[in-house]
Amino acid sequence: MNVGATRDLRADNALILPAWIGLTTIALALSVFMGVVDIPPVDVIAALVGKGSAQARSIIIDIRLPRVLVGMVVGVHFAVAGFILQSITRNPLADPSIMGISQGATLAVGVFLLFSVYIHNPGSNTLAELPLAWLPSIAIIGGLLAGLAIYAMAFGRNLGPIRLTICGVAVGALLHAVAIGLIAGWGSARIEILLEWLSGSLYARSWDHLRYLLPFTVVGLAMLPLIRRPLTMLRFDSSVSRSFGLSHKLHFSLALALACCLAASAVGVAGPIVFVGLIVPHLARFLAGRRFALVLPFTLALGIVVVTLGDLVGRLAGGAEEIPIGVVTAIFGAPLLLVLLRRMA
């Protein structure tokens, strides 16, 4: 046995945790310290410990901090969902927005908002405020329905990875078109709030958003140790993984359901932030190389880093009219996707 290699990996593993924490801390700190309103670092620290001017405190504590934290959590959701989908479909291009899960969530939220407007204030068709508490759960229903369609296609007709993805793309496009049609047909004067959400945005995300999303994060991440080994095994042919003792269908379904819940709940809070679920697992795999066990931790860390830094770029670059994170990830993600495609070819 190659004992030397094993020992090297152990030594590396000891360095991983500090590097992981360091990297995410830097990204989070940058996002809190920097912003459109220029607040000196000393004042930021003062605000964080509850001192300093009321204005600085309100900007840091009420606006920046919750926004950064929501971004961090949402980044983890999308990245892990993408990692799971890529593993179980054995397709490197799988991702919540490619497989139609984000679109399912979007449509569910759209329908829900439409109805809630009419129920809450009949007569008017404006939407003053999103009913936050409901959004993640409603989105999850939509995401799970899309997931069910994927499941039916995977087992009902025994589709291979590529055709499965194409079906996912078709389902997603259809759901997206319906959602857009619905919102356009609604013709409300105040759909900006909705449009912003649709492009994937962290604008004005508050402690409330975090509060309603966090339970899903906690439950989802608590499931990870349970699906870690099945995720590796689901990448074999089912005849191999079943011979190794895995209940293929059961674990495929569980993993798919988890991916749907994570991605959809994040969509409910921040809208569909595209490409994060696609790119982050690839970056993680690239950095981890042979060290299989590290791909998942890297995925978590990079999910945080990519979304928080992406949002920072969007905030700073746009000035007063900031660029939504979903647009930033699309702009950076598309070329990265092309690079990936070339590397795979």
Partner 1 sequence: MSLACSKISIDYGQRRALFDFDFALQPGRIHGLIGPNGSGKSTALQALAGLIKPASGSVELDGRQITTMSRREIARRLAFLPQQPSAPEEMTVEQLARQARFAHVGLLRGYGPHDEKLIAWALESTGVSDFAGRGLQELSGGERQRAWISAALAQEARILLLDEPTSYLDIGYQVEILDLIHRLSRDRGVSIVMAIHDINQAISVCDRISLLQGGRLVFDDEPRALAANNLVETVFRIRGRFVEITPGSPPHFDVELARWSDGARDH
Residue 290 in the binding site for partner 1 (CB under 8 A): yes
CB of 161 to partner 1, least distance (A): 12
- 245 lies in the binding site for partner 1 (CB under 8 A): yes
Residue type at 130 in one-letter notation:
L
Least distance from C-beta 140 to partner 1, angstroms?
A: 24
Q: Which of 115, 118, 155, 292 binds partner 1 (CB under 8 A)?
A: 292
Q: Please calculate the CA angle 118-119-122 and round it to the nearest 5 degrees.
A: 55
Pattern 145-184, binding to partner 1, x per CB under 8 A?
----------------------------------------
Concatenate the DSSP letters of all residues of 205-264 into one string: --HHHHHHHHHHHHHHHHHHHHHHHHHHHTTS-HHHHHHTT--HHHHHHHHHHHHHHHHH
Q: Check binding of 230 to partner 1 (CB under 8 A).
A: yes
Residue 339, both tokens: 């690079």
Q: What is the phi-psi region of residue 289: left when phi exceeds 0, alpha when psi lies from -120 to 50, beta otherwise?
A: left
How many C-beta neighbours within 10 Å does residue 214 have? 15
* Interacting residue with partner 1 among 174, 235, 318, 337 (CB under 8 A): 235
d(CA 56, CA 99): 42
Q: Residue 57 interacts with partner 1 (CB under 8 A)?
A: no
By CB under 8 A, the count of residues binding partner 1 is 27
Segment 246 to 265, residues that bind partner 1, using CB under 8 A: 246-248
Q: Does 222 bind partner 1 (CB under 8 A)?
A: no
User: Does position 237 bind partner 1 by CB under 8 A?
Assistant: yes
Structural contact between residues 58 and 39, judged by C-beta atoms closer than 8 angstroms: no
The residue ranges that bind partner 1 (CB under 8 A) are 1-2, 5, 90, 225-226, 228-230, 232-233, 235-237, 239-240, 242-248, 285, 289-290, 292
